[in-house]
Amino acid sequence: MPQTIEISLEGRVALVTGAARNLPAVIAREFAEAGAAVAINDVANEERAQALAEEIRGHGGRAEVFLADVSQWDAVSGLVEQVRQTLGPVDILINGAGPFAMDPFKDLAEADWDRVMDANLKAVYMLSRQVAQGMTARGWGRIINVSAGSADIRNHSVYGLAKSAVRFLTQSLAVELGPAITVNAIAPGQIAESAPDISEFDPTFVERALQWTPTGRLVTRREIARMMLLFCSPAFDSVTGQTLVMDGGWGIPRW
């Protein structure tokens, strides 16, 4: 296994949305291990969020749980203020919340369109707007968004559309919020730990992905989280507006 990246985030506060489980939960653990005080956000899964916070505190870290629906403006405003009062102002925003839907557009329910677009895309805009002023005033801030390889796949419906728009928004925010704030995104391919889930939609997808991936394996959640840590390090101070694809080379054009 690769060695742990030695990056210190002591004195920083990181807000990670959708962090009760899956990739955002791993991100929260990694940022806590690097010394950040972590605000664990989720819309409803309090039990799992609290278990994660207790795990982090058990390892000497600092973490608190904040339940809020990041697709709603009032909830976002309240969330950022609650984090400020409890842990301090947000220095690092990880937009990890990202519900999935892959019904064809001809069958897609309006409610599913709204749920996926609002949580994956509108939440990025609202949260970034809420934290940007404070980051700018303090002279430092990092916003990291989660796009996806689905942004390049035209049969991944509204999810792919939302994740494609996240890339556009990442660049626009980088232009508007610099120089104090950098804004970047990571676009994972199929994630190893989530591979069983995709079989519900396409039982052959993982096998085909592995055959088409030059590295011969799927990216892991921890690899993605550690790359996000790098985005917060001095080595990446000049990197903004970028979407880093982590898919083992799967998306390289072949034709």
Judge whether 229 and 5 are in contact, CB under 8 Å.
yes
Report d(CA 178, CA 141) in Å as an integer: 9
Residue 255 lies in a domain: no
Structural domain contains residue 103? yes
CA–CA distance, 113 with 102 (Å, rounded to integer): 10
Measure the CA–CA gap between 72 and 142, rounded to whole angstroms.
22
Query: What is the pLDDT at residue 2?
Result: 47
Angle at 171 between CA 18 and CA 118, to 5 degrees: 35
Residue 47 domain-assigned (yes or no): yes
> Which positions of the chain have pLDDT values less than 70?
1-5, 195-201
Residue 2 lies in a domain: no
- Please give the positions annotated as active site: 159
* Cα 88 to Cα 55: distance, rounded to the nearest angstrom: 21
Write the CATH number for 156.
3.40.50.720
246, 187 Cβ separation under 8 angstroms? yes
Q: 156, 101 in Cβ contact below 8 A?
A: no
Give pLDDT, residue 151. 84
Q: Decide if 254 is inside a domain.
A: no
Look at residue 1 in the predicted model and tell me its pLDDT: 42
Tally the domains of the chain.
1
Query: Within a domain: residue 74?
Result: yes
Provide the domain limits for residue 152. 13-245
| Of 4, 60, 67, residue with least CA distance to 32 | 60
Among the listed residues 3, 7, 2, the one whose alpha carbon sits nearest the alpha carbon of residue 235: 7
- Residue pair 178/240 in contact (Cβ under 8 Å)? The answer is yes
Residue 83 lies in a domain: yes
CB of 123 closer than 8 Å to CB of 174: no
Are 101 and 115 in contact by the 8 Å Cβ rule? The answer is yes
Residue 100 inside a domain? The answer is: yes
